[in-house]
Amino acid sequence: MKANPRRRKLQVQRVEKLSGLHSRLDGFLRYITRELQLADNSIDAYRRDMEHFFQWLGNRSVERLHVDSLADYIVWLEQRQLAPASRARHIVSLRIFFRYLQLEGVLLDNPAELLGSPKLWERMPQVLTPGMVVELLRAPEENSDKLWLRDRAILEFFYATGCRCAELVNLKLQDIHPAEGYCLCTGKGNKQRIVPLGKRAIAAFALWMKHEREVVLKRRKEGRNSHFQVLGWDTDESKMKVEVPWAFLSFKGYKMRREAMWNLIKKYAFRIGAPTWTSPHTLRHSFATHMLVGGADLRQVQEMLGHATIATTQIYTHVDMTRLKSIHAKCHPRG
């Protein structure tokens, strides 16, 4: 008889605790969205990081955490076998979250600022050989793939521009300028950059536009008409007009998802026997590496990739030592 009230009291406290944490998380997400204006992908990453932190936090009070306690959190992340890069991002998320709590008057100090980031070993980017890239670009076939022209155009754009997957998904028709030979990519932080397009990418995009895109849009329109008829709504042509700005569309005529584009690369990589680690980012790495091997300037590659600092781009110079040796032999007095 006496145990029941105690259990109810603890349960109520637990509910209040979770409610407070969710409230702070919602406020934090609004802060990084409106004040910091982070990209959607970054916001999703911070949300996941904070959910991990709240899972570790349990019944602890945020106001009473010290740097020693937060160090235990980093150990907890390591025990979950998170990579050093992932743990480093969790620390950044924690610093920004505590900074938000300072602005809200919840905390006076930010103990997360005292946390050191885990040692990040420099990982060499994995790239495909030029021959393997050619095989991959030719992998979509008319007889076996529903939208083979679209798929070829996507593959060509990945390799021609070095775009990230999210950048290609969000690419719009108005961003592509075939006559001038370039496209406008919107990267992290909504920063825009101009990236040249090769003749093969332009030709592949033209075929997709001419032979498949209108068929896809027609399929979308028929699907909407059928749905509206079931609901008893008016399907008058003037009321059905919908602008579809995206450059690449799904089979049903809607904006492609990142996962769908990722799976597309995996599908064709498996078909040609490419390494299992092949992904959209592999084509980005291959683009940068092959550009440098061909003699491109590091600064130019940095601009095309949209890197904020050249230090990020410099990792590609370590991939091909042959080029570095030839430059040394050509330019050094005793080369």
Torsion angle of C-alpha atoms 314, 316, 318, 321, degrees rounded to 10? -120
More confident residue, 152 or 44: 152
Q: What is the DSSP string of 131-188?
A: HHHHHHHT---TTT-TTHHHHHHHHHHHHHH---HHHHHT-BGGGEETTTTEEEEE-G
Q: Is 182 a catalytic residue?
A: no
> Catalytic: which of 95, 188, 200, 266?
188
Distance CA 222, CA 243 (A): 15
User: What is the rounded average pLDDT of the residues 203-228?
Assistant: 84
Q: Is 159 a catalytic residue?
A: no
Evaluate if residue 290 carries a pLDDT over 80. Answer: yes
Whole-number pLDDT of residue 168: 95
Tell me which of 187-191, 281-285, 304-308, 319-323 is least confident. Answer: 319-323
For the purposes of burial, counting CB atoms within 10 Å of the CB of 155, is it exposed (0-12), middle (13-18) or buried (19 or more)? buried
> Catalytic: which of 24, 52, 150, 164?
164
> Catalytic: which of 255, 258, 307, 323?
307
Whole-number pLDDT of residue 250: 93
Q: Is 281 a catalytic residue?
A: yes
Contact indicator for 245, 217 with CB cutoff of 8 Å:
no
Distance CA 173, CA 151 (A): 16
Tell me which of 17-21, 131-135, 307-311 is least confident. Answer: 17-21
Distance CA 184, CA 47 (A): 29
Tell me which of 61-65, 223-227, 325-329 is least confident. Answer: 223-227
> Catalytic: which of 47, 95, 219, 281?
281
Whole-number pLDDT of residue 10: 38
Q: Is 188 a catalytic residue?
A: yes
Whole-number pLDDT of residue 135: 96
Single-letter residue type at 164: R
Evaluate if residue 122 carries a pLDDT over 70. Answer: no
Whole-Å CA distances, 145 to 14, 84, 253, 269: 53, 39, 16, 14
More confident residue, 68 or 181: 181
User: What is the rounded average pLDDT of the residues 136-155?
Assistant: 95
Torsion angle of C-alpha atoms 152, 202, 279, 77, degrees rounded to 10? -140
> Catalytic: which of 152, 284, 285, 290?
284
- 162 is written with which tokens? 């070095």
Q: Is 254 a catalytic residue?
A: no
User: What is the rounded average pLDDT of the residues 309-314?
Assistant: 82
Pick the closest to residue 30 from 88, 89, 103 (CA basis). 103
- Per-residue pLDDT of 248-261, as tens digits, reads 999 989 999 999 99
- Per-residue pLDDT of 154-165, as tens digits, reads 999 999 999 999
Chain centroid offset of residue 101 CA: 27
Angle, CA of 268, 272 and 273, to the nearest 5°: 110
Whole-number pLDDT of residue 238: 38
Query: In this structure, how many other beta carbons lie within 10 angstroms of the beta carbon of residue 12?
Result: 10
User: What is the rounded average pLDDT of the residues 6-24?
Assistant: 51
> Catalytic: which of 31, 100, 159, 316?
316
Whole-number pLDDT of residue 236: 52
Whole-number pLDDT of residue 1: 46
Q: Is 258 a catalytic residue?
A: no
How crowded is the C-beta side of 66, counted as CA atoms within 13 Å? 1
Contact indicator for 301, 193 with CB cutoff of 8 Å:
no
